[in-house]
Structure 1
Amino acid sequence: MATRSALTARRIRIATELRKLRERVGMTSTEAAKQLGTSSGQLSNVETARFGVSPERVRAMARLYDCPDQAYIAALIDMATDKTLGWWESYREVLPSGLLDLAELEHHATAVRTAYTTHIPGLLQTADHAREIFRHVIPAPTPPEVEHRVSHRIKRQDVIYRANPLPYRTVIHEAALRMQVGGRDVARAQLQHLLVMSERDHISVQVLPFDVGAFPGSGQSINYLQGPVPRLDTAQLDQFHGPVLLDSEAHLEKYRRLLDVVEDTALTPEKSRDLIRSITQDL
């Protein structure tokens, strides 16, 4: 087993999933290591992502832990064998690891759902809008740091432009649409871009108007990234101190249901476009 150089989101996730499988059957790490023909120290290193894990070892662990879900096992093996270094790795020395994790998760996701109250989703932001957002980060970033963040955000958007674009659904509160980030010209260009993107077949944009009042998840920005199987989904929440990743089954079910309710509460994509056009015309 080779030591991994960087604790990426996917490397941490496969380690977490293997630990969950062992804990579900009530087996201690010492018991599991003995039956796997390894030491408890080596197993601990696998379960904390310090060591990588081979496809054969993943299969052996799945058999030992009585996991019958072949699609899930295949997805874990795919994660274990993926040695590709994504474009985001070039930012590892200049950006927080949470931003790199989000880019990695989006790249490998099968679909993404989001809900935003006070921001335009990052995948749908213009460069000028993103630049203005990053200028207000605390502590204040230097101009080069701002540009690193902007270029990273724009590169993330490749997932919705590539040949096999990522299916993307978002709900945006009217408050985010009316904030004049960067002034009228930048705000108008951002809304026009949002309208253009909302017309793409693989993108759905819905708006929560002010008159809906209270709604589930208000005040919380949510990114829900679907994996190859539901057990490998990830919920990502934006916090002041940085992105937070959630992958427990209880959390995933909660945020799936929350997004269902928010989408049902929001305007249809057609009526949402009408509202966005109206706000644009008011600028």
Structure 2
Amino acid sequence: MPAKKPTRTLRMRRLAAELRRLRESAGLSREDVTAATRINGSTLYRVESAQARPQLRTLHTLCDLYGVDEAEREELLALTKDSGKQGWLETYPSELPTEYTNYILFESEARTIRNYESLFVPGLLQTEDYARAVIRGTVPLATDEQVEDRVRARLQRQELLHGTEPLRLRAIVDEAVLRRVVGGPCVMREQLLHLGTMAKLPHVEVQVIRFESGAHPGMPGSFVLIDFPEPADPAVVYIDSMAGDLFLEGDVEVDRYSLILEQLIGVALSPDESRQLIGTVAAGMTAED
């Protein structure tokens, strides 16, 4: 069985960015580093793109080559040692796909999540029964145990919205999210009532794009913009698709999705109007399965 790829964390991203900066400040290409140190070029690329953590020996060699002083060397060593920390996810990392694990870790360290969804209630706002119905419907080959692992992870993620410094969430959803009856009318009604309740929290905004709005920039698919509290940690775009999960980290891509999100906010109902619509749709759901 092939070794599982290391889970990316913010610390790993920060370490990779700092090592790239040090190499470029020294005026060296990756080929130059390989020639001077015999560190494999593909290994260096993986370290600088946050796909692998450097061995301590490799890190010391790079620090020597780049002329890093003792204080900065200690910071890099600390980042390396802490780069694999995963918090609560360590309870069951092997049961979750690697890219989903990466997303959860980024989400757990975020300041703000801006989420557009065209078909589902955002995961952070799902009820347990709705989440279970979604997972069973979208991952039909999953075992009961795998389904419950994912439900448990989703519910645990929602703790980010509670506490003294909760995550700020802005969710834009297409009206189809409200109208598609997932898990039956009873489950869907409970979900809509929960969505309306969560939308009243001061750190949660929910906006709905009506069918009458016609075509809009979100129709190609859902995405998440993740913003972090530290300036050293640039925003990330996360896209979950049938072809696989994708993280976009370049300035051009992040700016493009930020612009799309602003356009969607402009098309959507206001938060107050959205809560009213959610309540109306919930009231129209029958209480019988």
After TM superposition, is the score higher than 0.5?
Answer: yes
The range that moved more, 163-172 or 139-148, is 139-148
- The number of equivalent residue pairs is 266
Secondary structure of 1:232's counterpart equals coil
Task: State the partner residue of 2:241.
Answer: 239
- Structure number with greater Rg is 2
1:117 match: 118
Secondary structure in 1 matching 2:261: helix
Amino acid at match of 2:52: A
Task: Name which of structure 1's ranges 97-106 and 124-133 shifts more when overlaid on structure 2.
Answer: 97-106
Corresponding position: 1:208 with 2:209: yes
State the secondary structure of the residue aligned to 1:217: coil
The answer to whether structure 1 residue 49 and structure 2 residue 48 are counterparts is: no
State the TM-score, normalized to the length of structure 2.
0.80
Task: Map 1:143-182 to 2 at 5 A.
Answer: 143-182=144-183
SS of the aligned residue for 2:156 comes to: helix
Relative to structure 1, the CA distance from residue 144 to residue 45 in structure 2 (aligned partners, 3 Å threshold; closer, same or farther) is closer
Could you tell me how far 1:16 is from its partner in structure 2? Answer: 5.0
Cα gap change, 1:146 to 1:24, in 2 (>3 Å)? farther
Residues 1:126 and 2:127 are matched in the alignment: yes
Q: Contact 1:29/1:40 (CA < 8 Å) preserved in 2?
A: no
Q: Secondary structure at the match of 1:46?
A: helix
Check the 8 A contact 2:116/2:222 in 1, yes or no. Answer: yes
CA contact (8 A) 2:15 2:76 kept: no
2:276 equivalent among 269, 274, 277: 274
Match of 2:193 in 1: 192
Q: Which runs of 5+ in 1 are unaligned?
A: 65-74
* Segment drifting more, 88-97 vs 203-212: 88-97
**Aligned equivalent of 2:257, options 255, 258, 271:** 255
Residue pair 2:216, 2:264 contacting (<8 A) in 1 also: yes
190-199 vs 258-267, which deviates more?
A: 258-267
1:143 shift after superposition: 1.0
Please tell me the root mean square deviation across aligned C-alpha atoms, in Å. 3.2
Q: Which moved more, 1:243-252 or 1:117-126?
A: 243-252
| Secondary structure, counterpart of 1:187 in structure 2 | helix
Which ranges in structure 2 are unaligned for 5 or more consecutive residues?
68-74
Give the aligned partner of residue 71 of structure 1. none
Q: 1:195 to 1:76 in 2, by over 3 A?
A: farther
Q: 1:126 to 1:26 in 2, by over 3 A?
A: farther
SS of residue matched to 2:134: helix
TM-score (norm 1): 0.82
C-alpha distance in 1 between matches for 2:32 and 2:133 = 54
Q: Percent identity?
A: 31
| Residues 20, 217 of structure 1: alpha-carbon distance in 2 compared, 3 angstrom cutoff | farther
Q: In structure 2, what is the Cα distance between the partners aligned to 1:81 and 1:144?
A: 33
Task: Report the counterpart of residue 17 of structure 1 in structure 2.
Answer: 17
CA deviation map 1:92-140 (0-9, x unaligned)? 2212112211110111111110101111000000010000011123451
Cα-to-partner distance string for 1:34-91 (whole Å, 9 max, x where unaligned) = 7xx854337456324241679x97x969x88xxxxxxxxxx99986563533111222
Assess, with a 3 A threshold, how the Cα gap between structure 1 residues 23 and 251 changes in structure 2: closer, same or farther: farther
